[in-house]
Amino acid sequence: MSVKNAIRILIGRFGVVWGIMLFVAVYLVILISASLVFTTPMVAAFREAGLFDRIEELFGLMLNSAFTLNNVIEKIEEIWASVTKAYQADVKIQVNTFLLITLVIVLLNKFLIGFYELPALECLEHKMSSNAKLSFFGRFVANLRRSLTFVLMKMLYAIIADAIIIVIIYGLFQLWGLNPALTLFLPFIIMIAIILLLSLRYSLFAGWGPAMVTGKKKVLAAFRESVVYCFNNFGRTFGGMVIAWTLIIVVNVLFGLLTVWAALVLTIPASMALSVPSI
């Protein structure tokens, strides 16, 4: 499906966005509550190391009309050095960081976030096929058992794909400071790399949920069909994902900056709805 058609369907079935918005609110409450167990001692340790004072100095520098890009880069490097020093000196930070990443960001996050996909797909599929309006939460409850199997299987593949992306992006970050000109353009290079890598990742998984909804496939059979479809239609699928992810990032950053991030309450659920039919 083209991005243009995906946007048109999203607007025509915007009620799905409200359902996803409430889902995201509950998801964030659970995720933040679980994160506090590990982040509270980390924040205390970083405060003792003076990290927040340096961050405050950075914002003060950026609000100063006389600031230069070199000064900002130097201050960011100073903050990063403080984080590294505190991390290396305090075992509690190391343990809590490991547990936060493993249990919350990787496992709990990926487990929870996947439950919206099949209900949203069913609502959009019925809108396209018969112009029927289904309740997002009605389909959410009806698909709980199937969503659980789908989420558990998708977690395995997603963790592997995300680990590869993180290694590549981490490698790009190692170029920071090697050359002043490269350091200046490195954020743009990293952003382009993130868009391309995310587009490739989502291209491989693009047909997984739709194959389960429209084709009534089992989880593994749907995944195989998704991968085969991606390689048989790689230019169209990957190109659509590049456009979709570029729009998602640009719209969220732009509206976030213009509204002091308040608009993200609406743009993030809309982005999640858009990413479902952009296949």
For the residues of 22-57, what is the DSSP string, one character each? HHHHHHHHHHHHHHHHHHHHHHHHHHHTTHHHHHHH
pLDDT grade, residue 11 (50/70/90)?
low
Does 278 have pLDDT greater than 50?
no
The pLDDT score that the predictor gives to residue 15 is 64
Q: With DSSP H G I counted as helix, E B as strand and the rest as coil, what are the percentages for the chain, rounded to 5?
A: 85, 0, 15
Q: Reply yes or no on whether the pLDDT at 67 is more than 80.
A: no
**pLDDT surpasses 60 at 276:** no
74 contact partners, CB below 8 Å, separation of at least 6 = none
Position 279 pLDDT exceeds 50: no
For residues 19 and 228, give the distance between their C-alpha atoms in angstroms, rounded to a whole number. 31
Token output for 178: 């090697």
> What separation in angstroms does the CA of 94 have from each of 33, 61, 128, 242?
20, 30, 49, 36
Query: What is the tens place of the pLDDT at every residue in 43-56?
Result: 888 888 777 787 88
Position 104 scores a pLDDT of: 92
Q: How many Å separate Cα 227 from the centre of its chain? A: 21
**In this structure, are residues 241 and 3 in contact, taking their beta carbons and an 8 Å threshold?**
no
Which residues, in sequence order, are CB contacts of 170 under 8 Å at separation 6+?
none
Half-sphere exposure of 231 (CA within 13 A, CB side): 5
Q: What is the mean predicted confidence (pLDDT) over 222-245?
A: 89
From the number of C-beta atoms within 10 Å of its C-beta (0-12, 13-18, 19+), residue 228 rates as exposed
The residue with greater pLDDT, 3 or 116, is 116
